[in-house]
Amino acid sequence: MKMNLNKIIGAISSVVCLVSCDLDKVPLATLSPETYFSNEEELRLYSNKFYEDILPEAGDVYNDRADVIISTPLNTEVSGQRTVPATGGGWSWSALRRVNYLLGNSHQTDDIAVRNEYDALAKFFRAYFYFEKMKRFGDVPWFNEVLGSDDERLFKPRDSRTLIADSIMQDLDFAIEYLPTTKDVYRVNKWTALALKSRVGLFEGTFRKYHGIGDAEKYLQACVTASEELIDNGGYTLYTSGSTPYRDLFATPNARSQEIILARHYDQGLNLTHSVQNATNASTLGRPGLSKSFVNTYLTTGGLRFTDQPNYNTREFVQEMQNRDPRLAQTIRTPGYTRIGGGAAAPNLSFTVTGYHLIKYTMEQIYDAYNSSFNDIPLFRIAETYLNFAEAKAELGTLNQADLNKSINLLRARVSMPALNLEQANANPDTYLLDAETGFPNVAQKNTVHTGVILEVRRERGIELVMEGHRYYDMMRWRAGKLFEKPFLGMYFSRLGDFDLDGNGSIDLCLYQGTRPGSSASLFMEVGKDIVLSEGNKGHVLAHGNINRTFDEDKDYLYPIPTEEINLSNKILEQNPGW
């Protein structure tokens, strides 16, 4: 049975009256530090709120919008329509205040071991909080205690990125030392702290490397060290049961704890639900779908590059889906797909703007309705740590074949894909992944040793972690935002007429112009109205072709600070460059 952390949080809300306000305000209405925080139960009850306030919710994870999942409307980051907000914009500090309040009052607990454990938990959440702030804004003010309303430090300038990054690492080192090692997929432990340190180290190291900031190697090495400790000593392994283990890892109510280190809890019986399945099986929540450029990156079952094959870009759907990395058929509807507990189902172009119909997280059809999903949502899993480890070592130039065998090649083996060979990858880098129109040309500019394998690790990361909330900030740290400007394409259609998209002999889609024809198709779409093709009456499905998207390299890698924070609240704050 799932641990009902959300119910615990709700039950204590009347006791722990947390006020959502600024850093200078008293965080509790009825709670006195002189009488509270005196034992483990009180610390636990108070800290349970951190999970709700700081960890991402389901929509933050599966709404993985960037260049690989296209939806409608486009978010402003991808469309280039982002503006400076007056308020909000992610510049909120109330959750940090609650964390610092515990740290400032946990000394009321006489048991030093208990105090260290909950200080460690609070520092994990402070590290998580500040990591999200640093990714979004870069330099931010560092606050490690609750401040009074007349404290001049409330109006301090932004601290340096280095101070923020190093303070995050220090908090995580404390968390790693004092958090328990007991595994619990719904509770933060030592292994969760190592997973976060691995994530932070990779992000900061690669951001610094590709944005020309110093000390990249220090953070990359921190990623390697944390990753190795988690991989070697954490006891987590990949979920490999059944014939479709990658799909089944996500299409299940309960988080699979052998692989998932920490999950967001959902429970249908307690009305704790989300809408991932509705989003991918309805026409009302964005119609998300994979982009053609991303589908092209899936290898063949023999480990060959699909983009090295003749006419790869003009193959119609049934043909292009043949003999591909099995994770493709476990991520989108492909020929032969059947619903869990149901029958065959072809891609439905009224549910996806690209035609590549997502199935990740999809369970039985009865859960297609709005807010009916109750899958636990993975927040950290060992597969990500494998990827972090391999990428950090590749960027450092220290990756060897044994490293690949204990990381990337375990992911490939789960779906019976050939192993990645280090020498072969470096000897023949993928030109598709190096091209400015479809990939990452700056990898070759920044690396001389491991260009080819870095590209392969990025391929693997995209495929393995798609729809898990990583891609946007991967693109930011890789300095690859210009890919947002490229056309967002979907399936290829060589003509108008009837199409059997799953190869079962029945017509699934009729594309037409003018008068609707007679057809046995289950779905009719008028070209130019219901769907746009890149060449008029043929070509790739074209999503958002009417938006002139721009990505400004001088400002768009960071978010703007809201104007009121600068003009009214803290005039010492400086706006991010270009905003």
Residue 570 has pLDDT above 70, yes or no: no
Residue 567 has pLDDT above 90, yes or no: no
C-alpha Rg value of the chain to the nearest Å: 24
- DSSP structural state of residue 531: B
Which structure tokens are listed for 412? Answer: 């490939």
Residue 517 has pLDDT above 60, yes or no: yes
pLDDT at 63: 87
- Which residues neighbour 573 within 8 Å (Cβ) at sequence distance 6 or greater? 141, 157, 158, 561, 565, 566
Q: Are 106 and 43 in contact (CB under 8 A)?
A: yes
Q: Are 356 and 332 in contact (CB under 8 A)?
A: yes
pLDDT at 148: 80
Pairwise CA distance, residues 558 & 441, whole Å: 21
Other CB atoms within a 10 A radius of the CB of residue 435 amount to 12
pLDDT, tens digit, 9 for 90 and up, residues 294-320 = 999 999 999 999 999 999 999 999 999
Please give the backbone phi and psi of residue 491, each rounded to the nearest 5 degrees, phi first. Answer: -50, 155
pLDDT at 32: 67
Residue 30 confidence class, pLDDT cut points 50, 70, 90 = low
Quick one: the chain helix, strand, coil %, rounded to 5?
40, 10, 50
- Which residues neighbour 174 within 8 Å (Cβ) at sequence distance 6 or greater? 119, 120, 123
Provide the sign of the torsion angle of the four alpha carbons 427, 428, 429, 435, taken in this order: positive
Q: Where are the beta strands (DSSP E) in 243-310?
A: 260-264, 289-290
Please write down the HEC assignment for all residues of 124-171: HHHHHHHHHHHHHHCCCCCCCCCCCCCCHHHHCCCCCHHHHHHHHHHH
* % the chain with pLDDT above 70: 93
- Cα dist. 453→402, 459, 497 in Å? 14, 10, 42
Residue 459 has pLDDT above 60, yes or no: yes
pLDDT at 152: 78
Q: Which residue has the tokens 């946007």?
A: 472
pLDDT at 4: 43
* % the chain with pLDDT above 90: 88
pLDDT at 577: 96
Pairwise CA distance, residues 272 & 149, whole Å: 37
| Cis amide leading into 73 (omega within 30) | yes
CA atoms within 13 A on the CB side of 248: 13
Q: Are 262 and 188 in contact (CB under 8 A)?
A: yes
308: helix, strand or coil: helix
pLDDT, tens digit, 9 for 90 and up, residues 95-151 = 999 999 999 999 999 999 999 999 999 999 999 999 999 999 999 999 999 988 778
Q: What is the dihedral of CA 514, 517, 520, 525, to 10 degrees?
A: 0
Q: Which residue has the tokens 């006791």?
A: 15
Which structure tokens are listed for 152? Answer: 């001049």
Residue 39 has pLDDT above 70, yes or no: yes
- DSSP structural state of residue 264: E
pLDDT at 16: 34
Side chain identity at residue 308, one-letter code: D
pLDDT, tens digit, 9 for 90 and up, residues 223-239 = 999 999 999 999 999 99
For 258-262, 504-508, 570-574, which range has the lowest pLDDT when averaged over its residues? 570-574
pLDDT, tens digit, 9 for 90 and up, residues 328-384 = 999 999 999 999 999 999 999 999 999 999 999 999 999 999 999 999 999 999 999
- DSSP structural state of residue 510: E
Residue 274 has pLDDT above 90, yes or no: yes
pLDDT at 233: 98
Tell me the average pLDDT across 391-419. Answer: 98
Pairwise CA distance, residues 473 & 475, whole Å: 5
Tell me the average pLDDT across 278-293. Answer: 97
Pairwise CA distance, residues 46 & 56, whole Å: 19
pLDDT at 34: 65
Pairwise CA distance, residues 486 & 484, whole Å: 6
pTM (predicted TM-score): 0.94
Please give the backbone phi and psi of residue 104, each rounded to the nearest 5 degrees, phi first. Answer: -80, -10
- Which residues neighbour 68 within 8 Å (Cβ) at sequence distance 6 or greater? 290, 291, 293, 294, 462, 466, 471
Pairwise CA distance, residues 18 & 96, whole Å: 12
Angle made by CA atoms 522, 339, 490, in degrees to the nearest 5: 60
pLDDT at 572: 83
pLDDT at 496: 98
Residue 90 has pLDDT above 70, yes or no: yes
Instruction: Go through 53-69 and write b for each residue having 16 or more CB atoms within 10 A of its CB, e for each that does not.
Output: bbbeebeebbbbbbbbb
Residue 455 has pLDDT above 50, yes or no: yes
Across the chain, what does the average pLDDT equal? Answer: 93
pLDDT at 447: 86
Tell me the average pLDDT across 425-447. Answer: 96
pLDDT at 21: 33
Tell me the average pLDDT across 45-63. Answer: 95
309: helix, strand or coil: coil
Pairwise CA distance, residues 449 & 42, whole Å: 53
- Which residues neighbour 445 within 8 Å (Cβ) at sequence distance 6 or greater? none
Pairwise CA distance, residues 37 & 18, whole Å: 15
Residue 1 has pLDDT above 80, yes or no: no
Q: How many helices (H) and strands (E) does the chain have?
A: 23, 9
Provide the sign of the torsion angle of the four alpha carbons 562, 87, 208, 62, taken in this order: negative
- DSSP structural state of residue 419: P
